[in-house]
Chains A and B, each alone.
Chain A
């Protein structure tokens, strides 16, 4: 049994809006082992990015715990949190807006090392910047250019170098490749793969793209309207999806092959409002199998097979 690095327990994040309380993340649980990747999957508005941000305490939780290496991230002091941030990092989706346009590549990568006083000596710091650039495959000649001179793939490499510049062990990757062209996307995915192996990193990989997540993750958690609806190993989830939403999501992916025609499950309607949700199954309105119980009682995540959890009244046997 390897070491659990992060544990999320009954985590909640609600936002107050003029129309009521928006339940962005509603009572979710999961844990990640060191050196593994958890894929957090779902469509716009399901709460996956909010989850990532609450884990890093970029947003305060409404309830629940985030235990990183035995410490509750939401209870420690700001000073302790600053220490912890050296280990916990994030890579953002949009490499065009997440880099300061007025800093050069070396300044961007150097900044966290300088601010956190990791390396005080200027020359050594510069050496570290070059090392990081090599690590993420950025040519050294780009050291003094500005982000606007670079394409999306290279900018994302800067974001990765910056995330690695401290004593990073854990990274939340929030849609790190969805803004990139496919050929560049593959380059960045391979880079993240190599870095994980080389540096023993632990990832939460947030994405809406199931084919990317299948390629990349050890475990997958599927979210719908703030709830986890299914959680299993990547292999199990793709071979044997149980929740009707997971099934529909898997069948909806356009597959670039003529050989395997998967019967498409077309869901009716669209995602409903996460504001003041009732205590029922949140997927019931779009579900082809919904019965009375789904519209009256809230389902909970239950283990239906070893390490395979599903939150559904109908499919749990």
Chain B
């Protein structure tokens, strides 16, 4: 049995705004063990980033509020930790890589100093030693050491993201949260960065949460996948479960929306409509107004979790009576 690094239990986060209450994260459970990568997949507004920020205790409060739930990171109770304790946790036990490498770096500080900052704070090293370590990190992510005294604007997008990866990994965190780390990059650069992340993850035996909307990226790096919709994980399982034994109609819809690069004749089958208004989620299943398989019960009752194995579950009424129900049998 591997050690659990992150355990989130029944997390609920709401935002109290002038226009009403947004139920951003609802009844979320996540468990990540050492060395595992979880892909958190969903569209804009699904609650992926809010979930990630809650692990770092960075959800803006107010307007945000954790209504209930537990977040245990490497044995530490995050929700009840003081700000002082959190400062020791962020960057050391958990690090985050943000989507936009253009804005995540300080434009007026040399890259080497931005990397050593975290090392000085967390590892009690003097400036010289920290700089040595920072140069090591720079070379590890594939940037030659003679560029260490340059400023972020002298770097391209891919290089900036490498610098950010170097900062995030400089104190060997146990958990790395990557929020759409390659979305802003070109495909050939994306391929370079993903390869680098995989190598470093193995090297440091890190756990990782990969937030993405791209199922192609999921295949490349993830062991487990959680599909989020309107603040809930609607389906979760191993990579194989999600890709070969797709259960939730939303997961199926995501797959059908992607143009198949190996079959250009195939017609796209988009998910109809739009994501529900987060101020006014449907009473029953959040997905019911866009679902092709909708039944009466879906509009009235929120579905319970139904397990197909220890790891694979879905929140959908289709399976409440008959677990062997098959989406492809349905006549569309």
Contact = CB atoms under 8 A, between A and B. Distances in A.
B257 A183 contact: yes
Contacts of B188: 43, 248-249, 252, 266-267
A239 to B, nearest CB: 10
A266 B257 contact: no
A254 B262 contact: no
Contacts of B262: 255, 260
Given A182-B254, A183-B253, A190 B186 contact: no
B41 to A, nearest CB: 10
A253 interface: yes
B194 A254 contact: yes
Contacts of A238: 261, 264
A250 B194 CA distance: 16
Contact of A186 (B215, B216, B268): B268
B258 A254 contact: no
A186 B270 contact: yes
B243 interface: yes
B259 A254 contact: no
Interface string B244-271: 1000000001111111111010111111
A249 B192 CA distance: 12
A216 B257 CA distance: 14
Given A184-B270, A256-B215, A258-B219, A249 B264 contact: no
B91 interface: no
B25 to A, nearest CB: 19
A183 B261 contact: no
B189 A255 contact: no
A270 B160 CA distance: 12
Contacts of A248: 188
Contacts of A234: 264
Interface residues of B, number: 46
B191 A266 contact: yes
A82 interface: no
Given A238-B261, A238-B264, A249-B187, A257 B274 contact: no
A3 interface: no
A238 B259 CA distance: 14
Most buried by B among A182, A215, A252: A182
Given A215-B264, A257-B219, A266 B43 contact: no
Nearest to B215: A256
Interface residues of A, number: 39
A116 interface: no
Interface in A38-61: 43-44
A109 B191 CA distance: 41
A43 B44 CA distance: 24
B270 A270 contact: no
A234 B261 CA distance: 11
Nearest to A188: B270
B270 A187 contact: yes
B195 A266 contact: yes
A185 B257 contact: yes
Nearest to B42: A181
Given A252-B188, A253-B261, A190 B216 contact: no
Contact of A189 (B159, B261, B268): B268
Interface in A193-216: 208, 210-212, 214-216
Given A248-B188, A266-B192, A270-B158, A256 B264 contact: no
Q: Which A-B residue pairs are the 10 nearest by beta carbons?
A: A254-B216, A186-B270, A256-B215, A215-B259, A186-B257, A43-B186, A181-B43, A211-B261, A252-B191, A183-B271
12 contacts: A43-B187, A43-B189, A184-B274, A186-B257, A214-B261, A215-B264, A238-B264, A254-B194, A254-B216, A258-B243, A264-B191, A270-B156
Interface of A: 43-44, 151, 153, 181-187, 189-190, 208, 210-212, 214-216, 234-235, 238, 248-249, 251-258, 260, 264, 266-267, 270-271
